A and B are shown apart, each in its own frame.
Chain A
Amino acid sequence: DSGVTQTPKHLITATGQRVTLRCSPRSGDLSVYWYQQSLDQGLQFLIQYYNGEERAKGNILERFSAQQFPDLHSELNLSSLELGDSALYFCASGRTDSYEQYFGPGTRLTVT
């Protein structure tokens, strides 16, 4: 158990809809990272938050957004969903002075 929790575990929704994925980092970790894992693109970095502020942005679509709350949990919002958004979404957390990132179990999103 990495100490990172993600909910829900599975999500099935229709095209055009909007969903929210939630992540709680390990105790004491200020950084939260979101990654998308798909069969064709592999594991891609989406966005990083550090202590409530956006720190780095990767290949995140404009339809996607994220935030980190004062209790350090983070939410990834995906809107106007398309079939191609079906993927595993991972959250990871880490400490300021460490290279290591600890991954949650992921949320599997299926868009039908």
Chain B
Amino acid sequence: GDSVTQMEGPVTLSEEAFLTINCTYTATGYPSLFWYVQYPGEGLQLLLKATKADDKGSNKGFEATYRKETTSFHLEKGSVQVSDSAVYFCALSHSGNTPLVFGKGTRLSVIA
């Protein structure tokens, strides 16, 4: 079945550092890929998405590019802030109106 693997956390960075959180997937066909973020005590929020190969999703300074050849969707941000501290989940879906398959999540802590 489908699966998503993301780097183990926690990740601790200083403010303004560069962030990369790796995500790879195993799936049949060409799924859509997502990054969700969960702030402390809250539900998940969609951060960005890409629906086909070579698409780049971006939002709030975060970016991720759908790489079919490496089955990857790594999350990057050039300069993190304390407010980015959260748990980040990579996920995939084969079509609209279908369940998401999540990775285990990566906790990010940004210190001032």
Binding site for B on A (CB under 8 A): 2, 4, 31, 33, 35, 42-45, 48, 50, 55-56, 58, 90, 92, 94-106
Contact = CB atoms under 8 A, between A and B. Distances in A.
A98 B96 contact: yes
Given A35-B100, A99-B93, A100-B49, 15 more contacts: A2-B43, A35-B102, A43-B44, A45-B99, A45-B100, A56-B99, A95-B96, A97-B97, A98-B97, A99-B34, A99-B49, A100-B46, A103-B43, A103-B44, A106-B43
A50 B43 contact: no
B101 interface: yes
A43 B102 CA distance: 6
A42 B104 contact: yes
A68 B52 CA distance: 32
A93 to B, nearest CB: 11
B35 interface: no
B96 A97 contact: yes
B51 interface: yes
The 7 closest A-B pairs by CB, nearest first: A103-B43, A42-B104, A43-B102, A45-B99, A103-B44, A105-B43, A99-B96
A64 B5 CA distance: 27
B12 interface: no
A95 B97 CA distance: 7
B82 to A, nearest CB: 22
18 contacts: A35-B100, A35-B102, A43-B44, A43-B89, A43-B105, A44-B102, A48-B98, A55-B97, A56-B99, A90-B43, A92-B44, A92-B100, A98-B96, A99-B95, A99-B96, A103-B36, A103-B44, A105-B43
Contacts of A105: 41-43
A33 B98 CA distance: 9
Nearest to A108: B41
